[in-house]
A and B are shown apart, each in its own frame.
Chain A
Amino acid sequence: MLLSVDNLTKIFTVGLLRKKEIVAVRDVSFQVDSGKFVSLVGESGSGKTTTAKMILKLIQPTSGKIFFEGKDVTMLNKYQDLKEYWSKVHGIFQDPYASFNPLQKVDRVLYQVFGLIKDQNVDRDKTVREALKEVGLNPEEVLGKYPHELSGGQRQRIMVARCYLIKPKLIVADEPVSMIDASTREGVIQLLSNLRDEYKTSVIFITHDLGLAYYVSDEMLIMYKGQVVERGSPDEVMDHPSSEYTKRLKADIPLLYRKWEGF
């Protein structure tokens, strides 16, 4: 068992004098094994991104625990420990433009991770070029360019190339393809699958797209208002949903091979 999340909760307090509490994530627990795709499915406000950020140690949980490779990493805050953690757990975010510093060349997001890699004697240029080729990009077309000169699909592939450099055990991908054209999405998803097949990388795949989660996951968790309301294999969740929310989601998704009643 690679990652275990126990009763994770995050409460945000807003306001100066009259403090209001927002419970973004409430009592979320799940586990991820090696080489598995686990989806967190939910709409905006479901708490899925906050959960992702807690697992990536970008936000501190209010309560609950996170275990990675058997160790309690909930309270990790020393610089060296965090670096070690991020060499094994890394993130890919939704907006392929916002993931880059607009004033710097795209090479930077790749070269900056060499600080995380153990082997310091590796030929950096060669490794970067190989990683780019792995994700189907031509290094000549991509290196030296600025983010606005590349397409969304290319930028997201560079993010996956970054993961090829790090080879983390777990990737937390927050809506990795929702801002890319539908016709190029599968390409990026295939890359994540390749990482799983070649290096047993696990992926926590966060999305609002039930169809995508159904297609790609080994296990699906449906989140609503900060809580996990349904979990199971994709077939279990779609064929025998138990929660009202899942049933409603299912009924409201536009389908290709079936028409809605009354439409």
Chain B
Amino acid sequence: MVPKMIKELFTIKKLDLSLAIFIGALLVSLIGSMRYSDPLKMVGFPEQPPSREFPLGTDSWGRDLLALLLNGIKNSVYIGATAAAIAWIIGVAIGVISGLRDGLTDEVLMLITNIVLVLPSILIMMLIAAYLKERNTFFVSLVIGLTSWPWVARAVRSQVMSLKEREFIQMSKMAGLNETKIILEDILPNMASYLFMTFVLLMSGAMIAEAGLSMIGLGLTRGVSLGIILYWAQTLDSVRRGIWWWFIPPGLCLVLLTTSLLLLSTALDEYFNPRLKGG
């Protein structure tokens, strides 16, 4: 079942392309960050344009921008994936429970979801930033993850609510299967498309959120990410001063990565939907 799925998946061009771009970028960054293990080291003259020694030039502190970029990609993807995982687990869990239960449980969970939905996450992060002086990649992931799950919970809940009316679920119920088994065997597998897509979308959203947070100074305090590079670039007025090799590469990478993820999600949608119809 699974191998066949993967084989069919790869017949979709969009999927090949988007996966190739994303994994390609990730691999390059992983290898690169091993080679350039200390990107924050001062290695050359400040604000030098790209040269043979430094393919992406240097920033105001004389640091190698290529090294910064490669490490930045790695960390941004890490934050994206971790935040997505956190939000996904919370959102799916709440969505499934809320979808299956009527009455009080459902209402309470939806109330919580709605509250978190309207909370301005920027405000929360500013408050937290005020208290915590040190923010590492995991922490940033946590903050983003804990504030971006509500739409997942709602989407999953409505899918579950429509699925649970389907006859095969009722057949499983009458066979005496307990709720956990029904969730794992009947409900979740038949929502696979949703589950994949929400993860991919969460990831791309999280990477952008990280960039946004970092650019207002609430992101990482230690380490480098695409957002942090952009933050420094902006703080040191690189746009006006024409230091294009500072802000264009990270911006481009961010766009490339998130776009490939979005493309991936549409490819997944395309794959899953005809199957659902044709099956």
Contacts and interface: CB of A to CB of B under 8 A. Distances in A.
Interface string B146-168: 00000000000000000000111
B185 interface: yes
Nearest to A115: B176
Contact of A103 (B171, B173, B176, B189): B189
A116 B178 CA distance: 12
By size class, the interface of chain A is 20 to 34
By size class, the interface of chain B is 10 to 19
A86 B174 contact: yes
Interface in A111-150: 112-113, 115-116, 147-148
Interface string A151-168: 000000000000000000
A86 B167 contact: no
Contacts, number: 57
Contacts of A103: 1, 189-190
B170 interface: yes
Interface stretch (A91-99, A204-212, A227-235): A91-99
B272 to A, nearest CB: 12
A87 to B, nearest CB: 8
Contact of B171 (A87, A94, A109): A109
A91 B170 contact: yes
B279 interface: yes
Interface string B169-211: 0111111111000000110011000000000000000000000
Interface in B131-150: none
A101 interface: yes
Contact of A102 (B171, B174, B178, B190): B190
A104 interface: yes
18 contacts: A58-B170, A58-B173, A58-B174, A86-B175, A87-B176, A91-B170, A93-B170, A94-B167, A99-B167, A100-B171, A101-B190, A102-B168, A103-B189, A109-B168, A109-B171, A112-B177, A115-B176, A115-B177
Given A79-B178, A115-B176, 10 more contacts: A56-B174, A83-B176, A86-B174, A86-B175, A90-B174, A109-B168, A113-B176, A115-B175, A115-B177, A147-B279
Across chains A and B, which 10 residue pairs bring their CB atoms closest together, nearest first? A83-B176, A112-B175, A98-B167, A93-B167, A99-B167, A115-B176, A86-B174, A101-B168, A113-B175, A102-B279
Interface of A: 56, 58, 79, 82-83, 86-87, 90-91, 93-95, 98-104, 109, 112-113, 115-116, 147-148
